[in-house]
Amino acid sequence: MSIKYNPSTVDVSSNFAIGTYNLADNPNLYEIARSNNFEFLISDFDNLQPASSNDSNMTKLQKGQEIIRMSVTRTSVPHFTQEVIQVRRGNNLLKYAGVPTFGEGSLIVNDYIGAGTKDYLMAWQNLSYNVTTEKVGLVQDYKKNCTLIEYSPDYQVVRSWTLYGCWISGLSEDDFDSDNGNSARKVSATIQYDHAKLDADI
* Torsion on CA atoms 117, 119, 120, 124, rounded to nearest 10: 140
User: Distance between CA 60 and CA 79 in Å, rounded?
Assistant: 34
pLDDT at 5: 44
pLDDT at 78 over 90: yes
Lowest-confidence range among 26-30, 60-64, 74-78?
26-30
pLDDT at 18: 64
Smallest Cα–Cα separation from 143: which of 171, 121, 168?
168
Q: pTM value? A: 0.80
Which element (helix H / strand E) includes 151?
strand 144-151
pLDDT at 118: 92
Give the CA distances from residue 87 to residues 82, 96, 101, in Å, rounded to whole numbers and listed in that order: 16, 8, 21
| Length of the chain (residues) | 202
- What domains sit in the chain, N to C, each tagged with a CATH number? 35-198 (2.30.110)
> What would the pLDDT profile of 1-23 be if each residue is shown by its tens digit?
444 445 445 555 555 556 667 77
pLDDT at 39: 95
- Higher pLDDT, residue 110 or 25: 110
Lowest-confidence range among 36-45, 150-159, 175-184, 187-196?
175-184
pLDDT at 132: 87
* Torsion on CA atoms 165, 69, 105, 47, rounded to nearest 10: -40
pLDDT at 55: 62
* Angle, vertex CA 57, rays to CA 52 and CA 58, nearest 5: 35
User: Is residue 47 very low, low, confident or very high in pLDDT (cuts 50, 70, 90)?
Assistant: confident
pLDDT at 177: 84
Q: For 161-174, what is the mean pLDDT?
A: 95
pLDDT at 172 over 90: yes
